[in-house]
Structure 1
Amino acid sequence: MRRSSVYYAVAAFIALLVLATAAALFMTSHHKHLGPMPVVAGGDTPEESVQQSVALIKVGDFAGFWKHALPPADYDTLRADWTRPRPDEHPLTPEDRADFVKTMQQLTAPDAETKLYAVAKPKLTQLQAQYQDQVPVMIGIFQAIAATGVSQSKDLTNLQKQQATEVINVLAPWAQTVPWFDQARAKRVVSIAVDTARRLDLKTPEQLKAMDFDTAMQKYSVGFLGIKQALTVYGLSLDDTFDSVKVSTVESRNGHAHVKIDYTLLGKPLSTESDLIQQDGRWYSEDVLQNVREAHQRLLAPPAPAGSAGAPATAASVGAPIQAQAPTPPAKH
């Protein structure tokens, strides 16, 4: 999308917050953080494994999350794979590069907060006059589109589809009542966006491509914490959701466990489920482990001949997205 003005850059950031929240809530429903914990691989029990996962996610420690979520050998592989070339990477266009550089310059300028809000303020007034009554309808349409996409997904089980739909059905009514055009809230979000951009300290998209695993995880942490702050401005506290989660083991035998994860989202009780596997006496998410290993194998596979109909898809990043179980590490761009 071309960012033709400062306003659209801010609007894009706010839109990203909403989308990222839905994804984060769907992927990180685990357990209450009971206090500081050392980062260790896996958990002594299935419940402990899930508990530490959410504790690390809550504070934005994504490097710690992956160290905990994977056996040591797989974690080392994840780190080593990070700098490998991605066969499915799309070349950066001059337009994309110019947009990125311009947006970061606008967000990190010495007087960025003042300038951005000066541009956003009249735009918000205009948008409120034009679209205030239409926002609930528009969000309702997006809700229907999202629900249809979930129901038609070939990557989700029936249970996962049900759980994802429940999350959508909670987020949509909230979004319909949020005062998106409120001047005071917008000013706070602009300040958060600027502070987050400065902390990210990214001037060019080439910096993204050059980042190693540790640097990328640090940047993800900065972005995630900024998202949490901005969403709180509009009444959605991710920490409240993390703190509400309770884990119970449904079944555990022969090194396999099935757990139920109950949590509240905006005061509404929801639940999800997860399978864990025991390796070397430690418990790990079965889907996380399987997906990371499959992503590694795809990364090492030779490229398919051009036009090959049956070629396997390549991984967009090491540690492919895991539905309702783990955050996705940032793909190199």
Structure 2
Amino acid sequence: MRITLVRHALLPLLAAFVLAGCHGKDDPTQPGGSTPVASVQSSVELLKKGDLAGLWKHALPPADYATLRADWSKRDPNQPPITEQDRARFNETLQKFTAPDAEQKLYAELEPKLTQMEQQYKDQLPVLISMGDALVKRGIAQNTTLDAQQKTQANAVVDVLAPWAQKTPWFDQAKAKQAVHVAVTTVRQLDLKSPEALRAMDFDTAMKKYAIGYAGAKQLLAIYGLSVDDTLDSIKLSELENKDGHARVKIDYTLLGKPLSTETAMVEVDGRWYSESMLKNARQSHQQHEDNAAAAPAPAPAGSAAHTD
């Protein structure tokens, strides 16, 4: 259930609100917003603070938020069991980042690889990124969940990110050393103990871990010249439409110095405004959980054993 929620709700939520700004006057600790614009503003305020638990509480109606929390710790019947190989790989990776000399060892391992990769791929990198650009745009064109306007907006973002990726000094040793420091610090802050503990996290614990990961990801992007906070600070919001409990909010923003815009649909529930796509995704995830639970075979009664006549 947790994997389903992250894939179908949390990631679209972050993608939608990473482009909004923080100028609202609503109380972000309350569910929804008094207006469509205020709802988006409060969500971004929470996102910029890295308060993902608060973001969920604000972005869903109380009943849906309660369902999210209740579903979170329920075991997904389709999730494969953890094997000894999984456990060994997890522990090996964790040890690399948590050992006392982790930064020195990781950078010592990375440094010659960066030199080798720079020699082999420096001239080819712009071409490879252009190929990746084309693949991403093809994926956008083939995406059946995006409408024509959303595809245009997504392509505009790609057109800004591709030149940045081509010019970014990915093989710079000093930046790589900073990145290793951020990665090691982030993993240590996550304080992961075992794959079993990772799966067993309750909602509040998971949100704290995700917030740590989100903060680390922002630091890594900033090292290479992409500031998420600068983008959040650049936003200007305006209401395009508001009728019969549905609204559209326009989001003008600057990404890497380039002006862009997008829109987000909002829906009114019990007098408060919420992201339509986020609410839809959360409810679909709950329904999928219910369907999986109904389809799962019932466990055998304790102490039961097969017998023959």
Q: Same fold (TM over 0.5)?
A: yes
- CA shift, 1:88, in A, is 3.4
Q: How does 1:1-333 map to 2 (within 5 A)?
A: 24-25=14-15, 28-32=18-22, 38-301=28-291
Q: Distance in 1 between matches of 2:120 and 2:292?
A: 53
Deviations 1:66-87 (A, max 9, x none): 0000111111110001011224
Q: Distance in 1 between matches of 2:171 and 2:181?
A: 16
Q: Distance in 2 between matches of 1:296 and 1:263?
A: 33
Give the AA of the match of 1:110. Answer: P
Give the AA of the match of 1:65. Answer: L
Greater displacement, 21-30 / 115-124: 21-30
Distance 1:147 1:26, change over 3 A: farther
Structure 1 gaps of 5+ residues are 1-20, 307-333
Give the AA of the match of 1:116. Answer: L
Q: Which has the larger radius of gyration?
A: 2
Q: Distance in 1 between matches of 2:140 and 2:81?
A: 30
Partner secondary structure for residue 249 of structure 2: strand
Deviations 1:232-284 (A, max 9, x none): 11000000011111111011122221111111111111111111111222111
Q: Distance in 2 between matches of 1:240 and 1:272?
A: 17
- CA shift, 1:297, in A, is 1.8
- CA shift, 1:89, in A, is 2.1
What TM-score, normalized by structure 2, do the two folds share?
A: 0.87
- CA shift, 1:93, in A, is 4.3
Partner secondary structure for residue 236 of structure 1: coil
Is the CA contact (8 Å cut-off) linking 1:263 and 1:271 kept in structure 2?
Answer: yes
More helix by proportion, 1 or 2? 2
Partner secondary structure for residue 145 of structure 2: coil
Deviations 1:127-169 (A, max 9, x none): 1111111111111111111110111011222222111111111
Q: Distance in 1 between matches of 2:151 and 2:30?
A: 32
Is the CA contact (8 Å cut-off) linking 2:78 and 2:292 kept in structure 1?
Answer: no
User: Identity percentage over the alignment?
Assistant: 56
- CA shift, 1:38, in A, is 4.3
Distance 1:157 1:97, change over 3 A: farther
Distance 1:93 1:236, change over 3 A: same
Match of 2:3 in 1: none
Q: Distance in 1 between matches of 2:37 and 2:55?
A: 15
Distance 1:130 1:35, change over 3 A: farther
Q: Distance in 2 between matches of 1:303 and 1:196?
A: 35
Q: How many residues align?
A: 286
Q: Distance in 1 between matches of 2:292 and 2:72?
A: 17
- CA shift, 1:229, in A, is 0.7
- CA shift, 1:90, in A, is 3.4
